[in-house]
Structures are given as C-alpha cells and as structure tokens.
Structure 1
C-alpha cells in the first residue's frame, strides 16, 4: 500500500483508490504500489502503459495529484538520484545528441500527428480567445505572434524549429514575409517543403547553432524546450547574432515554475528525450546583457484546452492506427496528452510568449498588445 502521508494527501485532494469518481484510479495489479514508490512519476506512467491501472479522467487525476503535492511525499532513493545525474553533468542537447528527439518523436509518422492537429499542423499551444474551435484558436495564435512581431510585407522572418511549416506558410501567404525556416526533423521538413511550394519560404536542415544570415524578425515556437539548460545562453547569443538592428524576437515556450535541468522522467524517456522546461528566471538569465525583455505573456491555461482537443481528435482517429502502433502506444500517447493537460490545469507548468529586442539597439518599445 501507499505510505500514510501519501494516502492522507490523496484523500485531501478528493482522490480515492478504486473509488467511485471518474478521476479515481482503478488498480488492476497490486504491484502498482511498489512500482510507484520506487520509480515515482516514471513508475506511475509505465504502470499505466502496462495496464496496471486505469482512470476515466486521467487529466483530472493528475491535476489533483500535482496540486496536493503528493509527489514530494514519495521519497527518492540513491538509484533515482543517480539517474538524474547525466542531465546535471552532461550537455544532453549537444549537436551529436540533438537529433534524438526528432528521430524518436517527430519522425514517428506525419499521418499520426495530422490526425489530431489542426489544418495548419500547429503542434503548440493554441489561443482560445472568443472560440472553442481548435483550428480557429491556432489561427488566433499565429495572428497574435504576427502582431507582436509587427510583421510587415517583405520582412525577412527566421523561424527556428519550424515543425511542419504551418507558421512559415501562414506568414508568407498572409503577411507577405520572406521566411527562412529551420528544422532537423526529416519527416517534418519533407512535408513542409512540399506544402510551401510556390511561396517565399526557404527550409534549412541544420542545427540552430549553425544558422547564418541577418533577419528582421525571429520567431521560435515550441523549440526552446529541446535546447537544454546548458545551452540557453548559447541559444540567445545565436539569436542576437542573427537579429538585425531594431529587430524583434518572439520566444514561445512551455515553462516551469522552478529552475531545473530536466523535465518529468516519464516524458523524458517516452515522449521528449532530453527535454528541459525553462523557468522565467532561466530565460531572463540567458537573455541578460543581450536582450531587453519587452513583454512576457503567460497563457498556459490555453494549453490545457489545446491538449484536450488533441486528445479527443486522437481518440476519434485511433482505430485507423491501432494495428500499426498497438495498444501500449495508445495508452502511452493518451497518458502523454492527458497528464500534460492536468499539469497545465494545476498551474505547475506555463506557456510563455516573450518579446525581446536587442539591448544595444536602444530602440523604442514595440507596441505589444495583449489581447
């Protein structure tokens, strides 16, 4: 069974093991308890993948678990601490390791991703202002970015970590920008090049550290999470070098409330290898002496809605993928989407949009409007 202190916190959060609520976990294997105590978050996720427990509202369960702080009552051990050492001692996001997340996550099948994303294939937080529709909310997000960057026709826009090219396509077609889009995912780049055919968009298959040129505006959406804390400063120096005088830079990233060097161990192993969520303090420290932070906008609550929309779409589309990927993958992907939704709902993680200008330019403040 679970320690008494853990049980007390679960009870205070309205969680009952094998209870009647939709968010109550239903245990199918008594070995579940020992696995969670030994492996904490990793054991909880792996036990779900293996069918050792079920839950009708996994998103709400994880939200309640995080809010009551029960994870801090399950003490780690020496083995657990040693597993975290590589993230602290080594640069897990070096050039030689940077392709790991592309190969293990982004290249697993475009059709799978497109089954739950919007028509512009935005794999990042949408902006649900005055709408409950995912596609409209993603257009809202792109318009918000364009307005914050004060995009003008003819602007040279650099998109670092361009995904399937949806943002590049939108800004070229709707705002008349000349876009250079950078990525290291083979599958994403192959699709993006074809999808943007005929538009003033150039795609580069290279590490962000190897980008050359000068750009009027720079945007990075959902890529900074893969940079790693040991490279945050390097990343900012690269952007500073590439941004022309009086230019604008917008960083769109998931962020943590506390500074750290790694993300959740389950997510790190199964979804985003070597990922690390920056805190606001880490972003500011990396930008210090290089950039003026003109605006920081947190709309993390919108990621909860985005993830739940993705989950509904994924569940509806799953029968077409069941034979190819199998049940354990389905449980893994569901756990990924729903646990992340719960984390955003609990306010444990955030979504930051940060607008910056180069410190040495001393330009006038951009007209950032929060809507």
Structure 2
C-alpha cells in the first residue's frame, strides 16, 4: 500500500487484528511489508529476497536484533537497503517488531542503569571508533569528519563537510585567539579547521584512544590540544564550547549533567553550540541492534529532553534542522565504503561487511523517512548579547 497524497499512512484494519488470529510468522511479516509497499522475493530494488525461511520466526521472536543479525548471516538480501528502510519507517512498522522480551529487557536495563556512566562512557570508543583509523580514512572525507555534512551548495562530501565546519565557526562568531572546547572531538576535524581557518586555540576531548592518537598527528603544528577524557572531567573556562555528534552518547540520565558541564566551562559572554541527531519523540533507549553492534549505550535526545536539560542554564538562540543532509552524507560514506572494501576485506571479513552496509544504509533510510533529524542548536547564557547565528 502506498502513501496517500498527503504523505500520511492509514493503518490497515488487517494489521490491527493480526495478533488475535492464528497466522504464521510469514503471513504476519508479509502483511506488514505489504502495508509498506514491499514484496517478499519481488523484483523492485526495495523488495527483499529471502534465502532462509526461518527468517520470519526469527524476526517475530527477536525484533530488530533478528532483522539485523539475519541480514549479517545472509538469510536475506535487498538491492537497495536504504529504500527498504525508508519505506519501513515511513509506514512506522517498527512498532510491530518491538513486542518481544529482548526489546523490553533492553528498555528495562536502560531505565534501571546509567548506561553512560563511568567506564561505560568509553565503551563506544573501544567498540566503534577504534575499529581502525585506516578504515575510517578511506570511508570519510579528507578531514575525517564523522558527522553530518551541510550540503547546501556542496557538490561532494569534502565540500559538504567543509561547509558544515565553517557554518559552525560562523554561528559561534569565532575569531582569532579564542579558547574553544570541543567535546567529543573525533579525529580533530573541527579543531584543525577552527585553528587553521579562524586562528582559534582548541582543546578537544574524546573517549577513543585511536581518535586521540590520530587527531594529534592531524593537528600537529596547530594550537590544538587533544585529550583522552570524559566530558564530566573537563576543567577551565572557554570562549566557546561545542559538541558535534556527541550528545547521542550522553544518555537521558546525563543530559542535565552535560548542560551543567557546558555552562561551567563557558564564559559568561560565550556561545555554545550542539550538533546532534534527534528523535521526534522522547526515548530512554535506542534500537537494540544498533546498541549491540554499532553504538553501544547510545540514544537520541528529543526536543523536550534537550529543553529540560538546558532550562535555567541557557538561552536558546537558534535551532536549525537539516536532517535530510544526513541521508546524503550516509550515502556518500557508503559509496566510499564500497569503493574501498577490497582493500579491507581480508582484515574485517564478510560478516562485518554486511553489518556495516546494514548500518549505513538503514540509517540513510531512517533520515530519508524523517524519522530522525539533525539539529544545530546555538545557546548563550542569560544576559549575553544575541549572536548573529541565523546563517543557514
């Protein structure tokens, strides 16, 4: 079933009564996919080809873990995973695969535990960002920027990432000699750009040893100091404080702590900026497959969660959404990944290839469906003069 002219799906009556009827797992899955306009063993790019008929029971039993792991195991294929997931999330089918014990256990753990506390905050660095600097060099742009690019007027990934870095500098009204704190600096792309192009003195912190080592090399000779450090341990006062692609790792129990840390480190007349992926609804957990294989202990903040966290600490000056640009960024990363795979195939293996492809293309589809967004938020302290940050 396709979308209506207004782009809003109407939930078919058959799905509302599926659980009350004796149907096979395949029938259940097929009816859900029919709703999204996807055919099993069909001939269109977004259709799926099933190689193992145990897939249906596995998906019903395991939810998103079963969807992702069965793809990694070669149980099914799809010529255009990005288009497949765009349809899945536009039809909001995710809710039909969350009613399993693993999902609820995952959600319960997130509520009972602070998954981003202490040593847990370093886990994503070890399991994701330390996959290998050579691998990321080949997948990313020349500056190794592992966040969404800004594609307005850009013709390629390098231009989009340079445009994003410059947009941030201009929104923060960066000028020579300013002290800047970059929370979650990655491989130092912003730190190097801000120091090189704007004459800033940048302190960057990361929880990845691999990132810290390479960032120091890439920023050699510039006024940049890279530290392996948790954001809660930062000291000092800065003219500007930012994080780009880091709030997704903070966790809902720590959003207020993050804002308090930013406020503590920001001078009274300073400007803070956050770039983050955001969800359309508040959540306390993330997708179980992404948590297990890609970004452990991560979750996406919502507008209300960010608003509550900054309340009383900051004035929100500007909130800019360019989420569709992440679709383009992810597709560019996937193209680079495919082009360089033969070089890395022996080291990582086929299951990693399928895992990484699933990650990049499923995320592209999610952004294309507008299920998630990409925000740049500019903040100042109370009483500070309003910055000229509306530049998009």
TM-score class normalised by the smaller sequence: over 0.9
Aligned pair partner of 2:40 in 14, 17, 25: 17
Which residue in 2 is equivalent to 1:69?
92
- CA RMSD for the aligned pairs? 1.2
Structure 1 residue 162 and structure 2 residue 162: aligned? no
Aligned pair partner of 1:100 in 123, 147, 161: 123
Q: What TM-score comes out, normalization by structure 1 length?
A: 0.97
Secondary structure of the equivalent of 1:96? helix
Structure 1 residue 295 and structure 2 residue 287: aligned? no
Which residue in 1 is equivalent to 2:306?
283
Aligned pair partner of 1:136 in 159, 180, 184: 159
Structure 1 residue 171 and structure 2 residue 187: aligned? no
Secondary structure of the equivalent of 1:81? helix
1:78-157 paired onto structure 2 within 5 Å? 78-157=101-180
Whole-Å Cα distance in 2 between the matches of residues 203 and 78 of structure 1?
42
Query: Is contact 1:6-1:74 (8 Å) kept?
Result: no
Secondary structure of the equivalent of 1:321? helix
Which residue in 2 is equivalent to 1:223?
246
Query: Is contact 2:103-2:288 (8 Å) kept?
Result: no
Which residue in 2 is equivalent to 1:55?
78
> Cα–Cα, structure 1 residues 223 and 265, in superposed 2: closer, same or farther, change >3 Å?
same
Which residue in 2 is equivalent to 1:365?
386
Aligned pair partner of 1:203 in 209, 222, 226: 226
Residue-by-residue CA offset, 1:208-243 (whole Å, 9 max, x unaligned): 001010000011001111111110000000000000
Query: Is contact 1:6-1:73 (8 Å) kept?
Result: no
Aligned pair partner of 1:213 in 236, 244, 257: 236
Query: Is contact 1:297-1:370 (8 Å) kept?
Result: no
Whole-Å Cα distance in 1 between the matches of residues 204 and 129 of structure 2?
16
What are structure 1's unaligned runs of at least 5 residues?
A: none
What are structure 2's unaligned runs of at least 5 residues?
A: 1-23
Cα distance, 1:278 vs structure 2: 0.3
Which residue in 1 is equivalent to 2:11?
none
Which residue in 1 is equivalent to 2:328?
305
Residue-by-residue CA offset, 1:305-354 (whole Å, 9 max, x unaligned): 00000000000100011110000000000000000000000111110100
Greater CA deviation, 84-93 or 7-16? 7-16
Cα distance, 1:369 vs structure 2: 2.0
Whole-Å Cα distance in 2 between the matches of residues 123 and 70 of structure 1?
29
